[in-house]
Amino acid sequence: MSLPLLLKATFRPILDYALPPRCPGCGAIVGEDHGFCLTCWSGMEFLGEPCCARCGVPFEHDMGAGAECGACLADPPPFDSARAVLAYGDVARTVALRLKYGRRIGLARLIARQMVRHVGDVDGDPPVIVPVPLHRWRLWGRGFNQSALIADHLGRLTGLAVDRHGLQRVRRTQPLRGMNGKARAKAVQGAFALAQGHGLKGRRVVLVDDVHTSGATAAACARILRRGGVTDIRLLCWARAMPGRETSHGTD
């Protein structure tokens, strides 16, 4: 056994006694790091198949390969597909806010681990992971971009390259909390651009964000990526607001 592993095995019981692992959702003591208690786990609504092939909204039953929901058929979003780990709810919100505002940056790894199953096909030309960027002033104020932290962990878990600088936020926007969909779309218009000399043309992209609410931010990013020659855009989030359900979470 290597020295670091030996030290970890030796001191882990002491650390667990002094600082026991706690549930990311409620703070209750749990058996292992980044593990949820039974109550929080039971209250989490995990998303997956069957769902709309485009936006990922769940279907009550399997509609067949490539089936899209009515909203996507009527007004297709600018990304090729979108997936989220959870439906937005109390636990998903708590984890997102503790990462974003509580500076619990270790939660980025937990989120990335849950995202892996949604990365999709990486055969052939592997996609590039691109986080939704923060404006430099907000980045300096907060000290980190939560989406970039998640993207970095996702890159390490999947072996995919991460491009933190190809997509940039060139205009600072006001917080989107409380705005309706139309106001959010107007607020982020012109907020994003591709960096000069970016290497994303002709590539597939996994666009990473923490929470997908109205979709305005993701749509603005996707349009810029598409104009820059990206061939396939897959949006991947920790949690997404479900149609017909209210959410108070703001986005950057």
The pLDDT tens digits of the residues spanning 72-116 come to: 999 999 999 999 999 999 999 999 999 999 889 999 999 999 999
Q: Which residues does the chain have with pLDDT short of 70?
A: 1-18, 175-176, 178, 180, 245-252
What kind and span of H or E run contains 109? helix 107-115
pLDDT in tens, 119-146: 977 777 899 999 999 988 888 888 999 9
In angstroms, the Cα distances linking 163 to 79, 85, 91, 148, 184 are: 18, 22, 29, 9, 26
Angle, CA 83 vertex, CA 77 and CA 89 arms, to 5°? 105
Q: Other CB atoms closer than 10 Å to residue 120's CB: what's the count?
A: 14
Two structure tokens written together for 19: 């600082």
Cα 133 from Cα 112, distance rounded (Å): 17
pTM over 0.85: yes
Structure confidence at residue 246 (pLDDT): 63
CB 138 within 8 A of CB 173: no
- Domains delineated in the chain: 1-42 (no CATH), 44-240 (3.40.50.2020)
Two structure tokens written together for 224: 């810029």
Structure confidence at residue 250 (pLDDT): 53
Cα 252 from Cα 97, distance rounded (Å): 12
Structure confidence at residue 249 (pLDDT): 54
